[in-house]
Structure formats: structure tokens, C-alpha cells
């Protein structure tokens, strides 16, 4: 599936999309396009704002939202900080964070303690899942927001989001979903899930580059939230240049801040176009097949898979020296990564069974490093 447009496969077996998507010829050309536009047009701000709006619309299509519900950000950290700055902690002050959270998310919520927030974690079970009973025991009438992780960056575990959202809403709490490790690997519909907020970025399975992310805000909340982390692109009229008042946009753009990273908009549009060309449903089916092959190959060799049955595109295998294992595989041009003592293997639309065969052979060669 579009593999020939990812030149890295001419030299390497790349199975590390949970860290960074492989570079496509399309994204490389997009950066060259930006430089050419800069050279030819000088400072075409109206055109670049058009690129920003095209990116906003592409993000909206990806998650079945409206463009006015999308704030284009530079990172998920930037997105969560903007959201956190808008929350009123006076009536409810508990923020519930699952133990699958990426560090930036947990750290930002803990930073709200200085504003009176009480941060409570939902513990992971021994089988690398978080049962809904763990949420039921913690979410209460004092809970303002539940911060959920769609797919865990450490072990690939995927959560069944809708029942948790329904539970949170039944107790009057809002829900923010971090879908960074999920976007681009299976269909996501914010309306069907019922989440209030969703964050994600282009670095991984969206096939763009670092420096661009987004925040979805359900339209019913926009007018009631006033982020204090702001900037000129968050104003109702970005070209008003008014230093005497704060006049936020009537759309989710009020969660934006300063000048957008124009080069990364080009890259994001190119990466998202690749996903649309391939089709998210087809990508999901392909990844089910490929991750199944990874699990089958690992089990046949007796390796310990720590990823639970419900998972995303990542499969994690236990190692007794994972950093050495990652290095040994890299010497054989097999690119993977590690977290939490686990080898992380994360395929995408461009991987094929030959990559998995090479991986299993590489693991067998280094079996002394596997549990």
C-alpha cells in the first residue's frame, strides 16, 4: 500500500511508526513546495492562512468533526495546556487521569494542582488493561474532567472508549481523549464516541512531521471556555492587531495561539492526503493482518507478548535488555523502539509480511535478549 513512496524501505525494515512515521516522497515534496512558495511569493500570509484552514478541514474529516471544532496546535502539550487554561476549577476540581497517559498529559494535569485541581490516577491492572470498574471507583460528582488514552504508548493497549465516556457523562464529568497513538490506524468518530475533547498530532501515524497537532472541542463547549493560554491567531479577527482587548474567536480557533508553523502545514496536508488515498478502513484491515502476523511469529518462538488482545497498531514484546535488543536489530537495519522494558513494534500502511519475516528472524538471532 503506497510503499514505493517511502524510500526508507530501500535500505531498512522500518516498523517504528509509534515513534515517527516514515518519510514519504510526498512530504519531502511538500517541504520543497513551501520553500518555493516562500521564495516566489515572499510573505503570502493570506495564502498561508489558507493552508492553515485546509489543514483544519483535513483534521476535521479525519475524526468526523466540523472544521469550526478544530484548533490547530504545534503539539499535544500545546493543545492540552490551552484546554487546561480554560477550565473552571471552582465548582468541581477533580481531574481523573488514566495510567496509560503519555507523560506530557499527566504532567500538565498535575501542574493544575497549583490552581486547586486534585489529580487522581486510574490504575492499570496486572494484565495491562484498565477495567471499567477502576473508572467507576474513581469518577464521582466532584470530577471535572476525565483524561483518557486511546492507545497506550508503552504496550499498545487500546481502550474501549464509549463506555467510559458514558460513565463520565452520567456523573457530570467532561472527557478528553488522547488519540495520538490511534489516529491514522483505525476510524475515529468523535460524534459516535461522544468525547468532549480530543487531541492528536501528525508526527506518528498521520505521516506528517513534528511541530503540528490539533485539539477538537465539541461545539457545545466552545462559547463557555475562555483559554488564558492564547495569542493573535486565537482572536476573532487575526488581523485586527488590537492590543487593548481579548476578543476570542467564536470557534475552536480560540484555543490557538501565535503564528502557525507554516512548513508543517504543508507536510501535514501531504501526510493526511496519503491516508485519504489509502482509506482508513483499508489501513485498519491491513494492520489487523500485520499485527496478527507479528503476534503469531512471536508466540511460535515463545516470546512474551505484553500487549493485551484489544490493541492498536503497536505490539510490545518483553525483553531482558531492550535497549541492547533495539541496537542489535538496528545493526541489521530493522528499526523499532522501546518503552518500559518492552520492544515496541509498530507497523503502518507501508509494511508488508516480508518486514515481519525479517523482524522475526532478527528476534531469533537475538533470542537471548527476550524473556
| Contact indicator for 338, 322 with CB cutoff of 8 Å | yes
pLDDT of 1 strictly over 80: no
pLDDT of 109 strictly over 80: yes
Query: Domain extents for the chain?
Result: 3-22+279-369, 26-276
Name the average pLDDT for the chain: 97
CATH code given to domain 3-22+279-369:
3.90.1150.10
What was the pLDDT predicted at 371? 83
Q: What percent of the chain has pLDDT over 70?
A: 100
Q: What is the pLDDT of residues 26-78, one digit of tens each?
A: 999 999 999 999 999 999 989 999 999 999 999 999 999 999 999 999 999 99
> Is there a shared CATH topology between the 3-22+279-369 domain and the 26-276 domain?
no
Q: What percent of the chain has pLDDT over 90?
A: 98
Residue 175: closest CA among 160, 193, 197, 159: 197
Which uninterrupted H or E stretch holds 144? strand 143-149
Q: What is the pLDDT of residues 206-259, one digit of tens each?
A: 999 999 999 999 999 999 999 999 999 999 998 899 999 999 999 999 999 999
Q: Summarize the confidence of residues 136-161 as an average pLDDT.
A: 98
Match 525479517 to its residue by C-alpha cell.
358
pTM: 0.97
324: left (phi over 0), alpha (psi -120 to 50) or beta: alpha
Give the Cα-Cα-Cα angle 238, 175, 273 (nearest 5 degrees).
55
Match 507523560 to its residue by C-alpha cell.
103
Compute, in degrees rounded to 10, the torsion defined by CA atoms 72, 74, 78, 83.
0
Rounded Cα–Cα distance for residues 312 and 316 (Å): 11
What was the pLDDT predicted at 239? 87
Task: Summarize the chain as % helix, strand, coil (round to 5).
Answer: 45, 15, 40
- Reported CATH class of domain 26-276: alpha beta
Amino acid at each position: 500500500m503506497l510503499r514505493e513512496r517511502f524510500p526508507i524501505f530501500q535500505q531498512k525494515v522500518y516498523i517504528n511508526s509509534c515513534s515517527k512515521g516514515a518519510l514519504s516522497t510526498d512530504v519531502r515534496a511538500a517541504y520543497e513546495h513551501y520553500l518555493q512558495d516562500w521564495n516566489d511569493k515572499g510573505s503570502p500570509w493570506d495564502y498561508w492562512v489558507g493552508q492553515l484552514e485546509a489543514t483544519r478541514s483535513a483534521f476535521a474529516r479525519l475524526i468526523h468533526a466540523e472544521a469550526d471544532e478544530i484548533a490547530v496546535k504545534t503539539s499535544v502539550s500545546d493543545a492540552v495546556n490551552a484546554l487546561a487554561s480554560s477550565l473552571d476549577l471552582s465548582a468541581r476540581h477533580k481531574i481523573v487521569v488514566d495510567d496509560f497517559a503519555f507523560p506530557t498529559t499527566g504532567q500538565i494535569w498535575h501542574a493544575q494542582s497549583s490552581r486547586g485541581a486534585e489529580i487522581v490516577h486510574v490504575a492499570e491492572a496486572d494484565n495491562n488493561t484498565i477495567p471499567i470498574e477502576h473508572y467507576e471507583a474513581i469518577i464521582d460528582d466532584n470530577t471535572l474532567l476525565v483524561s483518557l488514552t486511546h492507545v497506550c504508548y508503552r504496550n499498545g493497549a487500546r481502550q474501549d472508549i464509549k463506555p467510559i465516556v458514558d460513565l463520565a457523562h452520567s456523573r457530570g464529568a467532561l472527557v478528553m481523549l488522547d488519540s495520538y497513538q490511534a489516529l491514522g490506524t483505525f476510524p475515529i468518530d468523535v460524534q459516535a464516541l461522544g468525547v468532549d475533547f480530543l487531541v492528536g498530532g501528525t508526527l506518528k501515524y498521520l505521516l506528517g512531521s513534528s511541530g503540528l497537532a490539533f485539539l477538537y472541542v465539541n461545539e457545545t463547549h466552545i462559547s463557555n471556555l475562555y483559554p488564558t493560554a492564547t495569542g493573535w491567531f486565537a482572536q476573532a479577527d487575526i488581523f485586527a492587531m488590537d492590543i487593548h482587548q481579548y476578543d476570542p474567536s467564536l470557534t475552536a480557533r480560540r484555543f490557538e495561539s501565535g503564528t502557525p508553523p507554516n512548513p508543517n502545514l504543508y507536510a501535514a496536508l501531504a501526510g493526511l492526503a496519503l491516508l485519504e488515498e489509502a482509506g482508513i478502513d483499508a489501513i485498519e484491515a491491513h494492520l489487523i493482518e500485520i499485527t496478527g502476523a507479528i503476534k503469531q511469529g512471536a508466540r511460535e518462538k515463545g516470546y512474551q507478548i505484553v500487549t493485551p488482545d484489544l490493541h492498536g497498531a503497536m505490539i510490545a514484546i518483553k525483553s531482558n535488555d531492550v535497549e541492547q535488543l533495539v541496537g542489535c536489530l538496528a545493526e541489521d537495519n530493522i528499526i523499532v523502539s522501546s518503552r518500559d522494558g518492552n520492544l515496541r513494534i509498530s507497523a503502518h500502511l507501508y509494511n508488508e509480511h516480508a518486514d515481519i519475516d525479517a523482524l522475526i528472524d532478527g528476534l531469533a538471532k537475538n533470542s537471548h535478549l527476550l524473556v
